[in-house]
Structure 1
Amino acid sequence: MNESLLPFNATQTERNLSLVTKRSSSLPVNINHLWDPFRCPENLLPWLAWSLSVDNWNSAWPTSVKRQQIANSIEIHRRKGTVSAVKKAMAVFGVQVELSEWFETKSTPHTFSVMAWAGDNFRDNHEPVLTEAYYDALKRAIDYSKPVRSHYDFKVGILFDSDFGIGVVQQSLAIKRVDGEFIYLGAGLDGDLNIGGINQGHSVTRMSMEL
């Protein structure tokens, strides 16, 4: 039985198009999922990111971060140049953001400061919390969502829940201030907690940058 609805006098081009359309329904990918960042097949996420003009992308990111980045893209583009856009762009990477604008701190006009408290959804279990890749991803999130004329100071650190503050706590603290480039402090500070101790590693890197 011929399932085509084309008239008997249809051209060969029309018949070919009908055949292609019919075959598309039997593809191994559910077409209805291709535009959904949370159901799109993982290997097709880069193409979905490109089609939605995602500005900040890295193939090495965890899949959950990639999907959230795509999901937030349209809203970030709508609000670019605002505080909410900066916070939303950074929230993808599991950070708590404290942002102060120049008029709130009586600083130089068109400047702002950002304190990003790192989360743990950006890493595998064996990796440090604060890495150069993590820092670069956060900085790019600010760069593409902030007002073009604005300059900023950026700091990133690890914020532990109050639950870890009980018992005998041994704290290792490393602070480094640099201008213009990021330096990751190794020194055995991997940000992990050994609750048996309790040992708490707290690594904070301060960044002052003029763009």
Structure 2
Amino acid sequence: MSLLPNHKSKFDKKLDKFFGVKLDGLDISVINTLADTCPAQLLPILAANFDVDIDKLSESTARELIKNAFEIHYYSGTFYSLNKALKLFYATTNVKEWYEYGGAPYHFKLELEVSKTGINQESLKKTDEIVNTYKNVRSVYDGVSIKIATKANAHAGGYLMHGETISVMPYVLRELETKTGFYHANTFKTHEIINIF
């Protein structure tokens, strides 16, 4: 059955019939275009179709971005889409609007938690690209606050020495005096190295 209108030429109808027969014989069930399971070679093609940039991203991050592309584009121009896109790169992101930090109207800034992923010049450039792609046109980007938490192992030790001497003699005690000494010492040493390139 042809989908071409009746007024089309015989040549068009022959082409339609030829390609219809050829395509009907294809088993398209083996074609996988799901971002989670498709071959890695298809990722750039899927990214182009979903209008997302996966350049210099890891395979897992690229798959997540493609998988969420529809939702990100659907809400494009909102802080929701900006947060959704940034969460693919950073564990915790927070968009602060101008009234939350005392900025000028229509301004916003980002708070990024990078304790697990780390941050470098390239990821900051990627962050700026994401912000400019998904933010509202009228909104002004005031920059980013970076939070890095560190975990330290603390060891504590203690020592207590206590003694008492009692002598019992035939005479009656009029007064009993006890002396106790308590000594406490603490030591704390912190080093922080920050490299800014």
Structure 2 counterpart of 1:152, from 141, 144, 158 = 141
Matches within 5 A, 1:94-113: 94-113=90-109
Q: Is 1:38–1:67's contact at 8 Å kept on the other side of the alignment?
A: yes
RMSD value over aligned CA atoms? Answer: 2.9
Deviations 1:82-132 (A, max 9, x none): 2211111100113311221012233211101111122656xxxxxxx3222
User: What residue in structure 1 maps to residue 158 of structure 2?
Assistant: none
User: What residue in structure 2 maps to residue 47 of structure 1?
Assistant: 45
Question: TM-score scaled to structure 1, two decimals?
Answer: 0.62
Q: 1:107 to 1:160 in 2, by over 3 A?
A: closer
User: What residue in structure 1 maps to residue 194 of structure 2?
Assistant: 174
User: What residue in structure 2 maps to residue 81 of structure 1?
Assistant: 77
Q: 1:38 to 1:108 in 2, by over 3 A?
A: same
Unmatched tracts of structure 1, length 5 or more: 122-128, 176-184, 187-211
Give, in whole Å, the separation in 1 of the partners of 2:61 and 2:76: 20
User: What residue in structure 1 maps to residue 152 of structure 2?
Assistant: 165
User: What residue in structure 1 maps to residue 30 of structure 2?
Assistant: 30
Deviations 1:33-65 (A, max 9, x none): 21x1111210111111111121x331x211001
Flag the structure with more relative contact order, 1 or 2, with Cα contacts below 8 A and sequence separation at least 6.
1
Structure 1 counterpart of 2:58, from 62, 75, 82 = 62
Unmatched tracts of structure 2, length 5 or more: 3-12, 156-188
SS of match in other structure, 2:143:
strand
Q: Is 2:114–2:146's contact at 8 Å kept on the other side of the alignment?
A: yes
Quote the offset at 1:172 in angstroms: 2.1
Q: Is 2:90–2:112's contact at 8 Å kept on the other side of the alignment?
A: no
Give, in whole Å, the separation in 2 of the partners of 1:138 and 1:144: 10
Matches within 5 A, 1:3-14: 11=14, 13-14=16-17
Q: 1:82 to 1:13 in 2, by over 3 A?
A: closer
Q: 1:53 to 1:102 in 2, by over 3 A?
A: same
| Structure number with larger C-alpha Rg | 2
Give, in whole Å, the separation in 2 of the partners of 1:154 and 1:105: 12
